Every structure is written in C-alpha cells, then in structure tokens.
Homo-oligomer: A and B are copies of this chain.
Amino acid sequence: MSDEKDDPLMVRAVEKAFRILATFDAANPRQTLTQLADKAGLDRSATQRFTHTLSRLGYLRKDGRTKAYELTPKTLNLAYQYTRSSPVVLRAHPYLSHLNRTTEETISLTVLDDTEIIYLSRYLSPNVLDTDVIVGSRLPAYCSAGGLALLSMLEDAKIEEVLDRSHLRAYTAKTIYDREGIWTRIRFVREHGFAMVEEQIYPGDISIAAPILLADGNVMAAVSLGASRFRYQADAMVQRFVPALVAATRSMSQAIPT
C-alpha cells in the first residue's frame, strides 16, 4: 500500500482543491459551503479557502443569492486540453468518424483505468440509442464490450488483479459477473479478436468491441460499436459490423504511435 501520509513532495492543498471539485455531480449541482465541507471531508475554514481560491481561478461560481457554489464552464478546459493533446484521440478520429458514418451506429473510443473504462470519444448514431454515456463516463471493465476487449490483452495475472479490485455485480438480469463467466468471455475475445456483450449494463444495448494495439503488443485503447437489441439480433450484428470494426482497429494499431 502506498502511504499518502508523509510524502514530502506531495502538496496536499492541491488534493483538497480537487476534492472540492469532485463533490459536484448530477444530484448536487449546487452546493453550499457546509455541504461542500461535509462531502469533501474538510473543515469549514479549509472549505472557505478552497472555494475562494477556485472561484478566483474561475472554476467555481457563487450564486450571491443562495450562497451556493456551482461549477463553471471553465471546468471544460482540462478535458479540452486532454482531447487536443492525446495522440490516441487525435489519430483515431478519422477512423472512428468513418466507421460511424458507414455503420450509422454509435462508435466509442475507450481506455482502461484500473477496473474501469473511460470514454475518450463518442460518435453517436443518427438513430440514437441514447444511453447516457458521454465523454468522460466510466463503466466497469468486466461487463462492458470495450472493457473486455481491453482486459483480454493483459496478462492473466493482471486480469485477476483487476477482477479482485472490481466490485462484481449485476446491472441487469443478464449481467455476467461471476469469475468463470468473465474468463470465458476473455478467452472468446482472444480467440476471435473482438468482444461482444448483450444488455450487460443498459437494457436493450448490444455492443461489440475490438482492441487497438501498440507495436509491442500492448493495448492502447478499444473501439466499440453499440446498437439496439431491437434493431439487430446479436449474430446479425456480428456478421454485419465485426469485419469493419476489426479492420478499423487493425489500421489504427498501425497508424497510432506510442
């Protein structure tokens, strides 16, 4: 275990600032000083200082009337910079855009972050199956198409470690969350070169995914295609979209460096 304590290079003030920012979500878009203090686990004085600082920096705004703080659009900056500086995102863009237009289905680019996948880009279907996944969304790796595609490229031991840390649970009646079930799917990906999941998290959603590899064989990211169960049978989807998906990820594996 890494001890957060007594790390002389660690500037704790920064962590506290991010703790404040991290308390905002759909359920709590506007929060008052004490609410923030409670949720962030800081005392009043500290909360006072950090809300003040973040307000001065332009990331927080205080409603003079209600005294509640809310995030400002400036918080989009960081993500903008990431998107604009990430080689994967930039280089994958033309391929994904093309896939999206030819298939008319939702295309996503995801990476692994420990036990979760993070969505780096989304290209929505005009027919729209609007799950509320957006850029920055996180889903568990073990039951998402992208996650399985990414996991399957790791060493077995690493996968076990990830699963150990994962909170395996059922999101729908169909969710496969037992170890053996998950391993069966990982072996499937390794054998066939793509992952496929049906209604594992969102009812009605079927997704396929394939990994983008580095020259050294390591995974970089995964591309997934999601569609509605009501428009395609699973096997029809595989037939129809897997070749293009796999071809695209192959090309990307070639085209994207480091």
Contact of A136 among B25, B53, B77, B86 (CB under 8 A): B77
A237 at the interface (CB under 8 A from B): no
A214 at the interface (CB under 8 A from B): no
Query: What residues of B have a CB within 8 angstroms of the CB of A101 in the complex?
Result: 126, 128
Q: Of residues A79, A90, A97, which shows the largest number of chain B Cβ atoms within 10 Å of its Cβ?
A: A79
Give the number of residues in A that approach B within 8 Å (Cβ atoms).
Answer: 61
Please report which residues of chain A, range 92-130, place their CB below 8 angstroms from some CB of chain B when the two chains form the complex: 97, 101, 111, 113, 118-120, 123-124, 126, 128, 130
Knowing A126-B126, A136-B80 are in contact, say whether A85-B71 is a contact too (CB < 8 A): yes
Copies of the polypeptide in the assembly: 2
Shortest A90–chain B CB gap in Å is: 8
A86 lies within 8 A of B71 (CB): yes
A131 at the interface (CB under 8 A from B): no
Shortest A64–chain B CB gap in Å is: 13
- State which of A3-11, A151-159, A204-212 sits at the interface with chain B: A3-11
A54 at the interface (CB under 8 A from B): yes
A79 lies within 8 A of B81 (CB): no
Contact of A120 among B76, B81, B97 (CB under 8 A): B76
Shortest A124–chain B CB gap in Å is: 8
Residue of B with least CB distance to A137: B80
